[in-house]
Structure 1
Amino acid sequence: MASMNRDSTSSSLGRENSVEIFPRDLEKKKQKRKMIKYAVVVLCVALLCGAMTGAAVYWSRKRDPKVRTIPNRREMERVDCLPDEQRNRELCLNRSCIWSPSDIEKVPACFFPPANEWGYDRLSFNKPNQNTDRYILQDKLDSFGHVSRLILDVIYLTNDIFQVKIYPFDSTNKRYEVPLEYEELQSGIMPSNPRYNVTLSGEDSTFEMKVTRLDTLKVIWDTSISNLIFSEQLLQIATRLPSKNVYGFGENLHMSLKHDLNFKTWPMFTRDQAPSIDKEYNLYSVHPFYECMEDSIGNTHGVFLKNSNAMDYTLTPLPMLVYRAIGGIFDFYFFMGPTPENVIQQYTSLIGRPFMPPYWSLGFHLSRYGFRNTSDMRAAVERTTANNIPLDVIHADIDYMDRQRDFTIDNKNFKNLPNYLEGLWNKSKIRTIIILDPALEIANNYRPYELGRKEDIFVKWPNRNIMPDNDFNETNSLDMMGYVWPEWKVLFPDFFLNKTKDVWSELLVDFVKDMKRFDGLWLDMNEPANFGTNEEKPFNWPPSRNFTWSLKCPVNKYDDPPFRPKSAYGYDSVAKRERLSAKTLCLIASLDQGRYRMYDVHSLYGHKQAEISLEPLRKAVGRGKRSIIISRSTYAGSGKFAGRWLGDNSATWQDMRLSIIGMLESNLFGIPFIGADICGFFGAPTKELCGRWMQLGAFYPFARNHNDKKAPNQDPGSLGSDVIKLSREALETRYSLLPYLYTLFHQAHTLGSTVARPLFHEFYHDNVTHAIDRQFLWGKHLLISPFLDEGASENVIYLPKGQSWFDFYTGKRISGGTLLSVKQEKFSRIPLHVRAGSIIPMRRPQKTTQESLHQPFRLLVSPNSRDEASGVLFHDNGESIDSFENQRYLFVEFTYTRRRLTVQRIDANLFLYPYIFEITVHRVAQNPSFVSINGETHHTYSFHPRYNLLHITNLSLDITSSLLVEWGNY
């Protein structure tokens, strides 16, 4: 769009003066530029000649229809000037950009001129405080609708973290900034030994910023590739990257974990959008964070852009990264690692460490959309438990509600649901998670609506004049109506408003009395989703009604911004030009009593709902117990109080494979409690697919089988003996490893580490791992290599070099750096390998976590080539809030060196301590003639020479005591 649509409204939010982002009339600017160059002639005639020659070539392009090329301007350095429009020469020139088609596929034909011909110059420098460098930037030509003067602050936070913040110099030009409270890192003191150096171009020269890693002198950010755009509704910055190893950004369905840099543009703007193969769609969440491995020795940095407006990111082969956002400011945080795992730990030190999940939430979850009644739900549970498949949680989708209304129960089909769920816990120790959507139906005698209206907590139109006809008459308020699952119009709580939390809390606490019990919340549709926006009617509008209605947004600069991000133009069709407000509320909407526009905070809506739900949920659950929130829409920092799932996937082999990428990216985003709908949400999986997906899903941090109401049953007990066998074996393996998984979540909660981990995070020296996304790790020690190909006879997996690996099931040792072919037979177990040098705590698997929590421990010891190994265990009662912070836990270190295993309690403050009942040791050279425990001979052990395995059994070792286990030969 060459210029902004004028706002057709009369609202205070819609009447601000428009500013052309891409100006058509440059004559005054040309004259100003020429005047500057004429002034320069007094100083240097030679410089004048060169400058005027270049200027004549550039500025004449609007008058000269000939296509021109730019000397010494490599095509790979082009920054696209028409990302939002068709490739069109006239549009390009109207944007004052350069038109020069390339023979190279995907290279932009329309691109920005060199950085020194437009944009900003760097002016003065000062230090407002000890750890901040402040630069003033001045627009050269009043070009591209720019804010004329900017402040750029470089804030030195720690030796590993710094912030670069770019915002208007004029304090009266107050820009929207993301209103989330992150951890305070600033001490006001200059870090003593920073890993980085930030430099800007010299005074009165074209703006450039470079970031250098000091120990390698590698430049990791370099904006000299293009200048900066900072206008009212478009921000753009481009930087060279140090390598092509780029990971992160989301939420999108990426076809590979390592980014495709072939001029790929992806949108970020929360949307009720099911993932679709090979479509560059914006999905449910927004996470403007990436990490880049810079070199062959693994130095890695990460960058977070704290901006919640709709934005695009483009990656090119140079390699280059281009950010475009349609509002806010540039607020970058850099994390210098140096290892990939260090980067995530530093990132979560800012946005907040992930929450500690209750132990029970690590069990298997069963769900579906389409339970017709309580009997349907009961049948699915019984099919699972009758086949001895472990099960911990049943989910209740909107089926349980009265006419899909929040905080209600269908008294016809689910009348006995509360008694059933209470009995399920009392009898089988199976817990419940219920779904809630944000929208509340407009209905008399519906308490949530009436309480919300009384307290005035709903999202609003800015004023009466811009509301669609009759909407005001219907509500007698400025509340913005929408339509979702209930059978009538709805209103949306304003989760940015303080008093909304009180209303939400009251509704939750009251509802648990009706349900008798539930243990967690599943927050859906909170992008926020709205059906039929700007269309004739929603897809599910009742056919019995003799009229139609939908939310229709007036044309204005928020719903129709002058620069259309890919979250709008990416959905264009021949029949329709998509608006940014499609599938959601109007972006001109007002929140928090006019403090925010939906245009700015739309992508934070789900984050805020989850944030304000945690405390009320704990209050509703009561008893000082941990609960859990699963949210479909998240933002940076949501992992502090919520997990997530990957949305409405499909029952295909490709969807199963891509779920690994989504799971790993979520861990990079600081949300390790993550999983996909096992066996797929849409469609009917084959038995082979569901069996293999149950194997993979058993190693999602969040393991839930869930599907759509139109699909047949796919709970494992419904699909026959083959799926039952594969599911039971995989889940029993998961349950045996829960002490290890729970410890990983403790490390995520306290250190900010990942749980499900990309291979390159541990083996960054091994270049083969940099692109692997069909395998993943649990922590440092367990490699998971699922079967992902239909009908395949073998699974080729890679064992990273640097260490040996042990087959989890047999103990067979395999050298690292090996491509291993694993037979893929009907009942083949999912391939698992243990890294040499590890000690993994395990338990006997039970049918629920409640049973397994009190089972004794088993240790799996896998020495490396130096005959050493180590590991840790975190253990508590699995459910108390803040058990670590309140020092109600057990922490144990395990150390093995040359046939000596020590168990050392670090912290202990529990009443109940399970014991160690068995120890298995890999890589034992020969059958020992003795085993001793703290100097006392122990007689029950066995040696398996084929794989050099030692089993020490019949133990009852107090895990809180200092223990020394030895073996050898006399």
Structure 2
Amino acid sequence: MAAFPQRMAPILTLWLAVCLSGALAVERANFKTCDQSAFCKRQRALNPGQSPYRALLETMELTNSRLTLQLKNDKNKVRLLLELYRLQGNITRVKINELKPLKPRYEVPDVLIREPPTEPLSLLSQDANGVVLSLGAESQRVIVSALPFRLDIMEGRDVLLSLNSRGLLAFEHLRIRKDTFSYLITGTLASVWNNVKSVFSRQADRETEEANLEDEAMLDEKDEEGMWDETFKSFTDTKPNGPTAVGLDFSLPGVEHVYGIPEHADSLRLKTTDNGDPYRLYNLDVFQYELDNPMALYGSVPVMLAHNAQRTTGMFWLNAAETWVDISSNTAGKGSSETPQTDVRWFSESGIIDVFIMLGPTPKDVFSQYASLTGTQAFPLLAALAYHQCRWNYNDQEDVLSVDAGFDEHDIPYDFIWLDIEHTDGKRYFTWDTNKFPTPKEMLQGLMDKKRKMVTIVDPHIKVDSSYKIHNEIKSQGFYTKNKDGGDYEGWCWPGSAGYPDFTREDMRAWWASMFAYDQYEGSMENLYTWNDMNEPSIFNGPEITMHKDSKHGEWEHRDLHNLYGFYVQKATAEGLIQRSGGVERPFVLTRAFFAGSQRYGAVWTGDNAAEWSHLKISIPMCLSMGLVGIAFCGADVGGFFKSPSSELLVRWYQTGAYQPFFRAHAHLDTTRREPWLFGPENTALIREVVRQRYSLLPYWYQQFYHTYHTGHPVMRPLWVEYPQDPATYTLEDEFLIGRDLLVHPVTEEGATGVTAYLPGKEEVWFDVHTFQKHNGGQNLYIPVTMSSIPVFQRGGSIIPRKLRVRRSSSCMEHDPYTLYVALSHQRAAEGELYIDDGHTFNFEKREFIHRRLSFANNNLSSVNLAPEAHFSTLSTIERIVMVGATRPTKATLKTADGQMSQLEFDFDASMSVLTLRKPGMNAGTDWTVMLQ
């Protein structure tokens, strides 16, 4: 502490005390409520009713793909410009901006993967009340009503979605502050000019008259508290552009269930907010967050899905400023004749209204539509889907080697070991503490010899130190974010005084990426990957523990783009890891802060959770919510970051985490050590078993990520995604699907002796993967459990590949054989896939992979090539086929691609109807057929 200025010592001392204690809950007073956010309070004060906006139909212009017309606020006479586009893939885009703003308003860059391609719009009818446009799709149309302005999207006679149906469109136009010289001059000139015009022209045209009225109305507008500056606690936010908030309401007839808008530690189905705060989207470092409330957390994805048995639709509100979302519902009870409806209202502090309405109609259509806008989940290294071991902090090289050896000693596989901030030289990122890690390359080489990898943390707060190369280069090139007065912005974080690179700058991101080169990041090697933490950005002495909104990124204020900061940090880091290999190797980057489109750059975790049963439970809906909005690679800290778990909680968390996409154990500096072998032999065996289950299923996990990379469909998904017409699935959040074919119901209750799982699909059959017991779908099934139990079921009609020879890491299993688990449907059929590539390069984009369809029908099991134009070879064979729900054959014959026939050995368990074909031995990348007689 002696090195820190005396005035800052209490701040850092308090922060460190709180963090190291791990005993306090979130300090709510550090974070705003809606009533403490001036623009939220203003927007929420508006009541539904007559909208002041009318559409000026005489200004309408319609091209092949774009409608524009002006909206006029009859109270202040300000005009807005509405643009409407029909986009490819059944998406409608609506943009609303000021017609003539005093200066440009912020429009979010870099999130869309391209300018979305459009489809034709055509005019169906027009009269004094409005216009009707065809959306191209059969019976879909848009109705624009003039007075008051309203926009309805219809299909046949049904309203799918309405904009401004409650009259809550609110657009705070840019204006000049009344107590400034500029305002006085503007008002005087306007008065003089009007007098001059009255002398020279008694007949002013209508447009000029309206312009005069607009000037007068704007000058007469009253300022309210918080419009030009706002104080929260000891922080004053200056607002040189004044009030800039935008808001719009949407109505969803027939809808009772909405989902999405992560990140919140809340239920999967979003709750109504009539009696509390709206959901907040504002990336924040929230210490030991509370559960079941709409407070903002580390990331923000402004995407919501609405679902009923007939249709799924989505809304993407493209705005990176602080945003709040209100939800209200008139959900009708049973027997009511009233049509249920959900009303959603979005409002953001600045920017424009830019909303994409994704019209489905199926859940998977919405996923694909959103992916067409912001991209799909980056295809990860296969090893990244394996197990990660982390804590804050492994002390030194000897500690790392000891932990590494412990996994071998206890026969538990792992792929990545992680180092937190203490591995650096005084929290200077891209460096090593030379006392604790004197030979990092030697350490990394030792891991590489075992085909294992390491992750080090690289945070975006840069220690202000003239002897630190990274700081000097950022400062000399002017790459730091600026404060409101134009100097380099400084805040306080782990290193003490820190600067914050302006990642919104492309040249800054390019420089940052270059720092990951092996000759720049000393001690790094090809098996070293990256973790971006604290990138909300977290600033201990900032308002709400983050950056001042009036700090500057070039011409833009931080308020305009706050939620993009973490997105840009991860983007620059991922690009750096790609560039260091010459574009050959896939990166792995974990981020805490995120936005729409972050899925393109790596993985996300749910932040600083706690070793409590409630946090274990909430990890499921939190990751499900992320998957619904494109972020498929999600996980939670196994065991809980804060506090120390009981052995029961730790085992149950491993069992849950092993079936979530990102599988990492992590722990706070102040917690007791919790490597898997420290809780007694019995618990070690339980953890070993479930980690091995994860490794055996890696072929299936990898295949699912290959699909999400191409489609945007979530890997870990709610049951309603696959069973959209089954209302029993709509609120389930204690179980989930991996792809279509594995259903998981983790045990998340302390002392549980049983769980009740819902098995969907009345025509389906499900098989317990551990016992092969058969259960019909469409029922709630009570399952007795012991500490070794994790209920997992395979859908009848599916084929899942596994590798049962589990080794010390996934890379060690590369050439090992496969076992195919064939679960038959009621119709005695099944289908699945097998995907293989090198697991770590971008060569799959060059068609270097194997992709095969596996199918069983008419007593024949076959493998056929799904990608005949692709080329890749594998040494792996099929060493076993397990058919569940089978009957005993008289013989089994293998026919290979070259036409050779051979008889196969088999066993049949009549009590469980399980047929096992042993050692068929065919290459996994070739055509073959197994014929049963």
| TM-score band w.r.t. shorter chain | 0.7 to 0.9
- Counterpart CA distance in 2 for 1:281 and 1:483 is 23
Aligned counterpart for 1:598 among listed residues 558, 576, 580? 558
Structure 2 CA distance for partners of 1:339 and 1:442, relative to 1, 3 Å: same
- Counterpart CA distance in 2 for 1:715 and 1:341 is 39
Structure 2 CA distance for partners of 1:182 and 1:84, relative to 1, 3 Å: closer
Q: Do structure 1's residue 289 and structure 2's residue 308 form an aligned pair?
A: no
- Counterpart CA distance in 2 for 1:285 and 1:302 is 19
- Counterpart CA distance in 2 for 1:271 and 1:138 is 36
Structure 2 CA distance for partners of 1:84 and 1:424, relative to 1, 3 Å: closer
Alpha-carbon contact 2:89-2:369 (below 8 Å) kept: no
- Counterpart CA distance in 1 for 2:639 and 2:685 is 15
Q: Do structure 1's residue 434 and structure 2's residue 456 form an aligned pair?
A: yes
Q: Do structure 1's residue 681 and structure 2's residue 673 form an aligned pair?
A: no
Aligned pairs for 1:634-645 (under 5 A) are 634-645=594-605
- Counterpart CA distance in 2 for 1:746 and 1:684 is 36
Q: Which residue of 2 aligns with 1:316?
A: 328
Q: Report sequence identity in percent.
A: 26
Structure 2 CA distance for partners of 1:186 and 1:680, relative to 1, 3 Å: closer
Deviation at 1:441, TM superposition (A): 1.0
Unaligned residue ranges in structure 2 (runs of 5+): 1-31, 122-134, 174-243, 331-341
Q: Do structure 1's residue 962 and structure 2's residue 923 form an aligned pair?
A: no
Deviation at 1:122, TM superposition (A): 4.9
Alpha-carbon contact 1:364-1:390 (below 8 Å) kept: yes
Q: Which residue of 1 aligns with 2:812?
A: 851
Structure 2 CA distance for partners of 1:257 and 1:187, relative to 1, 3 Å: closer
Structure 2 CA distance for partners of 1:711 and 1:257, relative to 1, 3 Å: farther
Aligned counterpart for 1:491 among listed residues 472, 496, 499? 499
Alpha-carbon contact 1:261-1:317 (below 8 Å) kept: no
| CA distances 1:776-810 after superposition (whole Å, capped 9, x unpaired) | 11101000110010011111111112311011122
Alpha-carbon contact 1:238-1:322 (below 8 Å) kept: yes
Q: Which residue of 2 aligns with 1:551?
A: none
Q: Normalized against structure 2, the TM-score is what?
A: 0.82
Q: Which residue of 2 aligns with 1:220?
A: 161
Aligned counterpart for 2:97 among listed residues 162, 167, 177? 167
Q: Secondary structure at the match of 1:206?
A: coil
Aligned counterpart for 1:239 among listed residues 223, 226, 250? 250
- Counterpart CA distance in 1 for 2:139 and 2:689 is 49
Q: Do structure 1's residue 211 and structure 2's residue 233 form an aligned pair?
A: no
| CA distances 1:483-539 after superposition (whole Å, capped 9, x unpaired) | 1001x3111111122321343133222344323454321001111111122xxxxxx
Deviation at 1:648, TM superposition (A): 0.2
Aligned counterpart for 1:769 among listed residues 726, 729, 739? 729
- Counterpart CA distance in 1 for 2:785 and 2:574 is 43
Structure 2 CA distance for partners of 1:867 and 1:946, relative to 1, 3 Å: same
Deviation at 1:238, TM superposition (A): 1.6
- Counterpart CA distance in 2 for 1:646 and 1:113 is 36
| CA distances 1:70-89 after superposition (whole Å, capped 9, x unpaired) | xxxxxxxxxxxx9943999x
Q: Which residue of 2 aligns with 1:329?
A: 352
Q: Secondary structure at the match of 2:523?
A: helix
Q: Which amino acid aligns with 2:642?
A: F
Alpha-carbon contact 1:425-1:431 (below 8 Å) kept: yes
Deviation at 1:162, TM superposition (A): 1.6
- Counterpart CA distance in 2 for 1:149 and 1:163 is 20
Structure 2 CA distance for partners of 1:633 and 1:175, relative to 1, 3 Å: same
Alpha-carbon contact 1:931-1:965 (below 8 Å) kept: yes
Alpha-carbon contact 1:697-1:704 (below 8 Å) kept: yes
Q: Which residue of 1 aligns with 2:483?
A: 461
Q: Secondary structure at the match of 2:916?
A: strand
| CA distances 1:591-648 after superposition (whole Å, capped 9, x unpaired) | 1xx2321111111011011112222212335682222111111110011112111100
Q: Do structure 1's residue 805 and structure 2's residue 766 form an aligned pair?
A: yes
Aligned counterpart for 1:948 among listed residues 875, 890, 913? 913
- Counterpart CA distance in 2 for 1:887 and 1:834 is 30
- Counterpart CA distance in 2 for 1:425 and 1:159 is 45
- Counterpart CA distance in 2 for 1:437 and 1:223 is 42
Deviation at 1:280, TM superposition (A): 2.6
| CA distances 1:423-447 after superposition (whole Å, capped 9, x unpaired) | 1211x21101110110111112211
- Counterpart CA distance in 1 for 2:167 and 2:101 is 27
Aligned counterpart for 1:909 among listed residues 871, 888, 911? 871
Structure 2 CA distance for partners of 1:398 and 1:784, relative to 1, 3 Å: same
- Counterpart CA distance in 2 for 1:893 and 1:504 is 43
- Counterpart CA distance in 2 for 1:364 and 1:380 is 14
Aligned counterpart for 2:319 among listed residues 307, 310, 325? 307
Alpha-carbon contact 2:259-2:268 (below 8 Å) kept: no
- Counterpart CA distance in 2 for 1:124 and 1:782 is 57
Deviation at 1:123, TM superposition (A): 3.9
Alpha-carbon contact 1:876-1:888 (below 8 Å) kept: yes
- Counterpart CA distance in 1 for 2:826 and 2:115 is 41
Alpha-carbon contact 1:512-1:518 (below 8 Å) kept: no
Deviation at 1:833, TM superposition (A): 0.3
Q: Do structure 1's residue 202 and structure 2's residue 145 form an aligned pair?
A: yes
Aligned CA RMSD, in angstroms, stands at 2.5
Alpha-carbon contact 2:380-2:602 (below 8 Å) kept: no
Q: Which residue of 1 aligns with 2:570?
A: 610
Q: Secondary structure at the match of 1:450?
A: helix
Q: Do structure 1's residue 444 and structure 2's residue 466 form an aligned pair?
A: yes
| CA distances 1:842-861 after superposition (whole Å, capped 9, x unpaired) | 11232211111211112111
Structure 2 CA distance for partners of 1:515 and 1:930, relative to 1, 3 Å: closer
Alpha-carbon contact 1:123-1:138 (below 8 Å) kept: no
Deviation at 1:113, TM superposition (A): 5.3
Deviation at 1:871, TM superposition (A): 1.1
Q: Which residue of 2 aligns with 1:385?
A: 408
Q: Secondary structure at the match of 1:630?
A: strand
Q: Secondary structure at the match of 2:491?
A: coil
Alpha-carbon contact 2:451-2:811 (below 8 Å) kept: yes
Aligned pairs for 1:395-544 (under 5 A) are 395-426=418-449, 428-463=450-485, 478-486=487-495, 488-509=496-517, 510-533=519-542
- Counterpart CA distance in 2 for 1:198 and 1:684 is 57
- Counterpart CA distance in 2 for 1:744 and 1:452 is 40
Q: Normalized against structure 1, the TM-score is what?
A: 0.79
| CA distances 1:91-112 after superposition (whole Å, capped 9, x unpaired) | 99x98x9xxxxxxxxxx9x761
- Counterpart CA distance in 2 for 1:417 and 1:505 is 21
Deviation at 1:916, TM superposition (A): 1.2
Q: Which residue of 2 aligns with 1:938?
A: 903
Q: Which amino acid aligns with 1:388?
A: D
Aligned pairs for 1:121-160 (under 5 A) are 121-124=55-58, 126-142=60-76, 148-160=78-90
Q: Which residue of 1 aligns with 2:283?
A: 270
Structure 2 CA distance for partners of 1:430 and 1:257, relative to 1, 3 Å: farther
Q: Which amino acid aligns with 1:673?
A: F
Deviation at 1:222, TM superposition (A): 4.7
- Counterpart CA distance in 2 for 1:260 and 1:773 is 17
Aligned counterpart for 2:371 among listed residues 336, 348, 359? 348
Aligned counterpart for 2:625 among listed residues 665, 683, 688? 665
Q: Which amino acid aligns with 1:887?
A: R
Q: Secondary structure at the match of 2:261?
A: strand
- Counterpart CA distance in 1 for 2:507 and 2:37 is 49
Q: Which residue of 1 aligns with 2:801?
A: 841
- Counterpart CA distance in 1 for 2:569 and 2:346 is 27
Structure 2 CA distance for partners of 1:703 and 1:181, relative to 1, 3 Å: closer
- Counterpart CA distance in 2 for 1:765 and 1:687 is 40
Q: Secondary structure at the match of 1:490?
A: strand
Q: Which residue of 2 aligns with 1:649?
A: 609
| CA distances 1:350-408 after superposition (whole Å, capped 9, x unpaired) | 10111110111111000000322222333333333321111000011111011111111
Q: Which amino acid aligns with 2:309?
A: S
Q: Which amino acid aligns with 1:266?
A: Y
Structure 2 CA distance for partners of 1:277 and 1:227, relative to 1, 3 Å: closer
Q: Which residue of 1 aligns with 2:47?
A: 112
- Counterpart CA distance in 2 for 1:262 and 1:801 is 35
Q: Which residue of 1 aligns with 2:232?
A: none
Q: Do structure 1's residue 875 and structure 2's residue 809 form an aligned pair?
A: no
Alpha-carbon contact 1:263-1:317 (below 8 Å) kept: no
Alpha-carbon contact 2:889-2:932 (below 8 Å) kept: no
Q: Which residue of 1 aligns with 2:106?
A: 176
